[in-house]
Amino acid sequence: MTPTNRPMAQRCAVHQQRPAFAVCMQCTKSLCQECATQWDGIWYCAACLAVRRAGPVKRSRAGGWIAVIAASIVILFFSTRLMVWAGVLLAGLR
């Protein structure tokens, strides 16, 4: 009797001696604990993660700067209004 290949005994694509810990959702490669990286709740190998990171992150950074500028304008607007309100309040107390 020869042992047949068991589908459960998966090995890491990089480290043949290590058992598979996760599977890359992009290229379906078996990965060990060291090779697998979780990003946005999904497991990726190092190569697919690099591609993934290079993609939409740049765009969101530009959006982040716009949000920061918009937020500072809003804060500036409200602070000037707050100063007017404070002035009215102080004038009323006197």
Minimum distance from residue 27 beta carbon to Zn ion (Å): 3
Task: Return the number of the residue (2 or 28) whose C-beta is nearest Zn ion.
Answer: 28
Concatenate the DSSP letters of all residues of 24-86 into one string: -TTT--EE-TTT-EEETTEEE-HHHHHHHHHTTHHHHHHHHHHHHHHHHHHHHHHHHHHHHHH
12 binds Zn ion (CB under 5 A): yes
Task: Return the number of the residue (35 or 74) whose C-beta is nearest Zn ion.
Answer: 35
32 binds Zn ion (CB under 5 A): yes
Task: Return the number of the residue (22 or 48) whose C-beta is nearest Zn ion.
Answer: 48
Which of the stretches 10-18, 51-59, 67-75, 77-85 binds Zn ion when contact is defined by CB under 5 A?
Answer: 10-18
- Of the candidates 57, 55, 33, 54, which has an alpha carbon nearest to the alpha carbon of residue 45? 33
Minimum distance from residue 2 beta carbon to Zn ion (Å): 28
Q: Which helix (H) or strand (E) holds 91?
A: helix 57-93
